[in-house]
Amino acid sequence: MATLRFLGAAGVVSGSRHLVEAGGHRVLIDCGLFQGEKELRERNWDRFLVPPASIDAVVLTHGHIDHSGFLPRLAREGFRGPILTSPATADLLGLLLYDSAKCQAEDAVYANRKGYSRHSPALPLYEERDVDQALRLVRPVPREVWFDPAPGVRCRFHEAGHMLGSSFIEMELAREGEGSPLRIVFSGDVGRFNAPLYKDPVSPPPCDYLVCESTYGDRDHTPARPLDELEAVTNEALHRGGMMLVASFAIGRCQQLVYLLRTLMAAGRVPETPVWVDSPMAVDAMEVFKKHGGEHDFSEAKMQGVAESLASPFVRMAKTANESKAINNHHGPGIVIASSGMMNGGRILHHLARRLPDPKTTVLVAGFQAKGTRGRTLLDGAEFLRIHGRDIPVRAVVKKVDALSGHADRHELDRWLGTLPAPKRTFLVHGEPPAARGLAEFLRSGRGWDVHVPTIGETVDLDA
Helix, strand, or coil here: 374? helix
Min. distance of Cβ 33 from Zn ion in angstroms? Answer: 12
Q: What is the residue type of 41?
A: R
Given its phi and psi angles, is residue 64 left (phi above 0), alpha (psi -120 to 50 degrees) or beta?
beta
Q: How far is CA 282 from the centre of its chain?
A: 15
Nearer to Zn ion by Cβ, of 165 and 334: the residue is 165
Which residues make up the interface to Zn ion (CB under 5 A)? Answer: 64, 189
Nearer to Zn ion by Cβ, of 150 and 435: the residue is 435
Nearer to Zn ion by Cβ, of 64 and 221: the residue is 64
Nearer to Zn ion by Cβ, of 5 and 67: the residue is 67
Identify the sign of the CA torsion 46, 426, 295, 137: positive
Min. distance of Cβ 181 from Zn ion in angstroms? Answer: 28
Q: How far is CA 253 from CA 66, 100, 165, in A?
A: 16, 18, 13
Min. distance of Cβ 189 from Zn ion in angstroms? Answer: 4
Residues 379, 363: Cα–Cα separation, whole Å: 10
Nearer to Zn ion by Cβ, of 64 and 292: the residue is 64
Identify the sign of the CA torsion 39, 45, 46, 48: positive
Instruction: Give me the sheet containing 182-186, strands edge to edge.
Output: 147-150, 153-159, 167-173, 182-186, 209-213, 425-429, 451-452
Nearer to Zn ion by Cβ, of 189 and 229: the residue is 189
Min. distance of Cβ 427 from Zn ion in angstroms? Answer: 18
Let me know: does 410 contact 219? Beta carbons within 8 Å.
yes
Min. distance of Cβ 292 from Zn ion in angstroms? Answer: 17
Number of C-beta neighbours around residue 1 at 10 A: 10
Min. distance of Cβ 251 from Zn ion in angstroms? Answer: 11
Nearer to Zn ion by Cβ, of 251 and 310: the residue is 251
Let me know: does 455 contact 10? Beta carbons within 8 Å.
yes
Residues 445, 282: Cα–Cα separation, whole Å: 43
Let me know: does 245 contact 362? Beta carbons within 8 Å.
yes
Which residue sits closest to Zn ion, CB atoms considered? 64
Residues 170, 158: Cα–Cα separation, whole Å: 8
Nearer to Zn ion by Cβ, of 61 and 309: the residue is 61
Min. distance of Cβ 279 from Zn ion in angstroms? Answer: 18
Angle at 311 between CA 249 and CA 226, to 5 degrees: 45
* Strand partners of residue 199: none
* Strand partners of residue 172: 154, 183
Q: Is the peptide bond before 340 cis (omega within 30 degrees of 0)?
A: yes
Residues 369, 35: Cα–Cα separation, whole Å: 11
Nearer to Zn ion by Cβ, of 60 and 335: the residue is 60
Task: Please name the residues in contact with 238: beta carbons below 8 A apart, sequence gap of 6 or more.
Answer: 244, 270, 271, 273, 333
Residues 410, 414: Cα–Cα separation, whole Å: 6
Min. distance of Cβ 293 from Zn ion in angstroms? Answer: 21
Nearer to Zn ion by Cβ, of 244 and 370: the residue is 370
3-state secondary structure 166-218: CEEEEEEECCCCCCCCEEEEECCCCCCCCCCCCCCCCCCCCCCEEEEECCECC
Nearer to Zn ion by Cβ, of 288 and 385: the residue is 288
Min. distance of Cβ 414 from Zn ion in angstroms? Answer: 19
Nearer to Zn ion by Cβ, of 99 and 189: the residue is 189
